[in-house]
C-alpha cells in the first residue's frame, strides 16, 4: 500500500515541495537518537560515553557507532526505538493543515480515498465472546447477536470491540462503552485515552507507517465527543483484522515473531488504514 504522503502527491492534493516541508517539520519535532537511547536506558552511561567517543573519532552516525561497538541489539533496540518514535510522531495530515498546504475538507476526502486502497477481506470471523448480561454470565450457543433493548446487553460485535479495547470483558467495561456512545464524561475521556494508549502500543508492534493516522483519528473522535457507528463497514472490517492480530499475540506469539509474520503485517496495515477514515 502506498505511503500517505505519496498518495497525497499522486492525487494532486499537495506538491512535492509541500510534502518535503511537512516531513522536515515532522522530523524536527522528534528527539535525536542519542536522547532516545538515554531516556530509554538502553545503554549504560559508560557505554554512551564510549559510543560518543567512537562516533567523534571515526565520524560515524550514532546508530552505526553503536553497532560497530556491538551495542545495537536489533531485537531490542529497533523495536524500542521505533515504538518510541511512533508514539511521538506528529500526524502528517495535521502538519499539512498547520502549514496551509491542505484544507480540512480535502484531508477528510483524501483519507476516504486512501482507505479504499487497502480493502482486505479476512479469511475467518473473529472468535465468539460469550454473551453477557448484568448479573448473568451464562453462555448459550447460537445466541442472537443483534443489539438488545436492554441497556446492559451488547451485541456480539460490540463485545468484540470492548474486548479489543479493554483486553478482557466485564460489566464495567461495556457499561463504560455504552456511556461513551451517548455522552462524553471526564471519566469516559480518561478511560478512552487509556484504551488509545493500548492501541498505540499494539500498532507499533507491526511498525505500521500509518499508525499515526489511526491514533490521531481516534483521538479526534474521542476528544470531539463523536462516536462512529459500530455498524459502519470500515469499523467492522478493522475490528475483525485487529482481532486476528490480538488472537495471535495472546496465543503466545513473541513480538519478534509477530513482526516477521507477513500475512499479519498486511492485515494490520490494512486495518490501520481503515480506521484512519474516522479521523
Q: If we measure between CA atoms, which residue out of 279, 235, 214, 274 comes closest to residue 1?
A: 274
Find where cell 511521538 sits. Answer: 88
d(CA 211, CA 137): 35
Q: Which of 145, 152, 149 is nearest to 236 (CA)?
A: 145
pTM: 0.42
Q: pLDDT tens track of the chain, all 279 residues?
A: 457 788 889 889 999 999 999 888 888 888 888 998 888 888 999 999 999 999 989 888 888 899 899 888 766 676 677 767 766 777 788 889 889 999 888 887 777 676 555 432 333 333 333 333 333 333 333 333 333 333 334 444 444 444 444 334 445 544 554 554 444 455 655 555 554 444 444 444 333 333 444 444 444 444 444 444 444 444 454 455 455 444 544 444 444 444 444 554 555 555 545 444 443
The helix (H) or strand (E) run that includes residue 149 is none
Amino acid at each position: 500500500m502506498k505511503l500517505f504522503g505519496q498518495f497525497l502527491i499522486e492525487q494532486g492534493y499537495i506538491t512535492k515541495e509541500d510534502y518535503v516541508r511537512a516531513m522536515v517539520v515532522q522530523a524536527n519535532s522528534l528527539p535525536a537518537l542519542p536522547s532516545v537511547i538515554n531516556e530509554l536506558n538502553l545503554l549504560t552511561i559508560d557505554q554512551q560515553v564510549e559510543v560518543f567517543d567512537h562516533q567523534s573519532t571515526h565520524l560515524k552516525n550514532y546508530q552505526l557507532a553503536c553497532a560497530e561497538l556491538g551495542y545495537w541489539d536489533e531485537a531490542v533496540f529497533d523495536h524500542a526505538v521505533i515504538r518510541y518514535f511512533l508514539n511521538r510522531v506528529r500526524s502528517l495530515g495535521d502538519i499539512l493543515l498547520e502549514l496551509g498546504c491542505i484544507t480540512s475538507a480535502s484531508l477528510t476526502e483524501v483519507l476516504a480515498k486512501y482507505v479504499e486502497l487497502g480493502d482486505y477481506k479476512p479469511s475467518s470471523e473473529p472468535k465468539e465472546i460469550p454473551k453477557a448480561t448484568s448479573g448473568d454470565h451464562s453462555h448459550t450457543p447460537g445466541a442472537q447477536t443483534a443489539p438488545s433493548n436492554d441497556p446492559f446487553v451488547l451485541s456480539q460485535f460490540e463485545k468484540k470491540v470492548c474486548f479489543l479495547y479493554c483486553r478482557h470483558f466485564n460489566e464495567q467495561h461495556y457499561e463504560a462503552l455504552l456511556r461513551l456512545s451517548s455522552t462524553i464524561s471526564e471519566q469516559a475521556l480518561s478511560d478512552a485515552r487509556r484504551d488509545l494508549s493500548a492501541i498505540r502500543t499494539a500498532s507499533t508492534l507491526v511498525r505500521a507507517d500509518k499508525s499515526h493516522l489511526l491514533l490521531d483519528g481516534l483521538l479526534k473522535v474521542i476528544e470531539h465527543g463523536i462516536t462512529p457507528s459500530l455498524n459502519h463497514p470500515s469499523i467492522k472490517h478493522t475490528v475483525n483484522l485487529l482481532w486476528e492480530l490480538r488472537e495471535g499475540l495472546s496465543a503466545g506469539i513473541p513480538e519478534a515473531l509477530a513482526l516477521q509474520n507477513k500475512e499479519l503485517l498486511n492485515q494490520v496495515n490494512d486495518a490501520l488504514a481503515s480506521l484512519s477514515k474516522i479521523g
